[in-house]
Amino acid sequence: MSEWREVKMEELASEEPGSIAIGPFGSRMKSDVYTESGVPVIRGTNIASSRAWKNDWVFVSDDFADGLPNCNAREGDLVFPHRGSIGEIAIIPGDKPRYMISTSLMKFRPNPEKVSSLFLFYYFRSATGRAEIMRYSSQVGTPGIGQPLSSLRQFRVPVPPRLEQERIAGMLSALDDKIELNRRMNETLDAMARTIFDDWFVDFGPTRANAGGREPYLDSEIWKLFPDALDDEDRPVGWTTYALCDLAHHHRATVSPSAEPDSIFEHYSLPAYDAGSEPKLDAGETIKSNKTVVPEGAVLLSKLNPEIERVWLPNAKGKLPQVASTEFLAYTPVAPVTRSTLFCLFKSPAFRTEMAAMVTGTSKSHQRVSPKALLSREVLNADPRLFAVFDNVTRSFVDRILANRLEAGALAQTRDLLLPRLMSGEIRLREAEKAVEAVA
């Protein structure tokens, strides 16, 4: 740490005009200035817990953005909320010429000769960096920073030599890149499995091709399992209509984790799903309400607000007990149905439309589907011989999704362990590199 020095953010800012800036006043950034396309506007809801963005975008025209040059953000700039989600941070990627910050945000443009943007980003992602931001915030009413720009200038940062900044940021960035690669790979695998499911069981593609005399596009042994005609209800002739209770068993057993305060539970909660579909490891004493026991080989389906897709494949059973929010319904397949079939069924747009039509509750944010009504709902048309075939085709996708998620979880744990120690100089780079090599 002898070569590290603590400096204020204003000492690290670019000398360009507007390098430290606040978003436009609310009267300048009303919804009526939004356009169909153009310059993307960063709002607090777009800032995620990683370098990636989240949620939907709004846009403004180039002319509007040109009129507020200090509110323009480009690659390497850092963005901080000064109202609402205090303590969060985003770094601007190089995928677009520019972004624009919204009313509740601040922008900081570093001087690249003095400090690495990525180093600053990871510092403020650490507990120490977040605590530095929170020193200037008020939690009374809506969380906020009272004097945003003067506070941002005063944030203090421990800064090592420039080369060491690059190495620290590069190591943490490489872990994030691998986590992001696994996430994107899982999106692709998920889409592949869903495409096959929808083609076979929703759109009846092979049956329609047979009926129209078109060439087969599947293996001949699979192709011959599909009929060559549709009935009067536009379903494959001879296929069975299944209610969910024919396909899955609903597990209702619950447990009170607080009765085992010192035990660690693998906790499948709604916030954990929304944060990246990785269960949290929580002590029993911190879990205050009853939870659903997760059975081996389950698929979890949220009954809350079904327009939001929340379908979860729990990890293979390990040493830790697995529990889920009671907002998740825990299902296991009834033979000959398989886990991959249930997973794809629950993600199918047709199934989700059925769920959305069944909600009860007047509050838009707390609409639920009755588990009993869902079990009795007809949800699938199929030939039972196809369940095993579908599993043979898609099981490797599902297995890879689980493996990628476990690896991403291990990488994230390593990153989160190293982050505060690297940012404080407590651990040497070579020690950190060995820890990364053990999981990469």
> Do 191 and 146 lie in a common domain?
no
- Residue 309 CA to residue 226 CA, distance in Å, equals 30
- Residue 440 CA to residue 431 CA, distance in Å, equals 14
> Do 211 and 127 lie in a common domain?
no
Q: Is 258 exposed, middle or buried (0-12, 13-18, 19+ CB in 10 A)?
A: middle
Say which residues have a Cβ less than 8 Å from residue 303's Cβ, sequence separation at least 6: 327, 328, 329, 368, 369, 370, 371, 374
> Do 291 and 338 lie in a common domain?
yes
| Number of domains forming the structure of the chain | 2
The answer to whether residue 327 sits within a structural domain is yes
Query: Which tops the pLDDT comparison, 438 or 117?
Result: 117
Query: In the 8-state DSSP scheme, what is residue 9?
Result: G
Q: Please say whether the beta carbons of 255 and 323 come within 8 A.
A: yes
The answer to whether residue 428 sits within a structural domain is no
Q: Which domain holds residue 377?
A: 184-401
> Do 287 and 347 lie in a common domain?
yes
Nearest to 23 by CA among 70, 65, 62: 70
Q: Please say whether the beta carbons of 148 and 79 come within 8 A.
A: no
Strands 264-268 and 322-324: parallel
pLDDT at 52: 84
> Do 88 and 208 lie in a common domain?
no
Angle at which helices 162-197 and 117-125 cross, to 10°: 70
> Do 125 and 188 lie in a common domain?
no
> Do 245 and 361 lie in a common domain?
yes
The answer to whether residue 397 sits within a structural domain is yes
> Do 366 and 227 lie in a common domain?
yes
The answer to whether residue 432 sits within a structural domain is no
CATH assignment of the domain containing 292: 3.90.220.20
- When pLDDT is cut at 50, 70 and 90, the band that residue 2 belongs to is low
DSSP conformation letters of 289-325: S-EEE--TT-EEEE-BSTTS--EE-PPPP-SS-EEE-
| Domain boundary, last residue among 125, 159, 193 | 159
The answer to whether residue 63 sits within a structural domain is yes
Tell whether omega for the bond before 336 is within 30 degrees of 0, i.e. cis: yes
> Do 191 and 153 lie in a common domain?
no
The answer to whether residue 376 sits within a structural domain is yes
- How far, CA to CA in Å, does 348 sit from each of 27, 100, 152? 42, 36, 46
Extract the tokens encoding 380: 């699938």
Question: How many Cα atoms within 13 Å fall on the side-chain side of residue 212?
Answer: 9
Q: Is the pLDDT of residue 1 over 60?
A: no
Query: In the 8-state DSSP scheme, what is residue 26?
Result: G
> Do 288 and 388 lie in a common domain?
yes
In the chain, the amino acid numbered 242 is: Y
Query: In the 8-state DSSP scheme, what is residue 145?
Result: E
| Domain boundary, last residue among 114, 143, 159 | 159
The answer to whether residue 333 sits within a structural domain is yes
Helix spans in 198-348 (H): 205-211, 220-223, 244-247, 270-274, 339-347
Using one digit for the tens of pLDDT, what is the confidence trace for 9-51? Answer: 999 999 999 999 999 987 788 888 999 999 999 999 999 878 8
- When pLDDT is cut at 50, 70 and 90, the band that residue 349 belongs to is very high
pLDDT at 219: 95
Using one digit for the tens of pLDDT, what is the confidence trace for 85-139? Answer: 899 999 999 999 999 999 999 999 999 999 999 999 999 999 899 999 999 998 7
- Residue 336 CA to residue 135 CA, distance in Å, equals 58
Q: What's CA 81's distance to the chain center, in Å?
A: 20
Return the CA Rg of the chain: 26
The answer to whether residue 312 sits within a structural domain is yes
> Do 314 and 377 lie in a common domain?
yes
Q: Is the pLDDT of residue 392 over 90?
A: yes
> Do 42 and 106 lie in a common domain?
yes
Three-state DSSP class for 328? strand
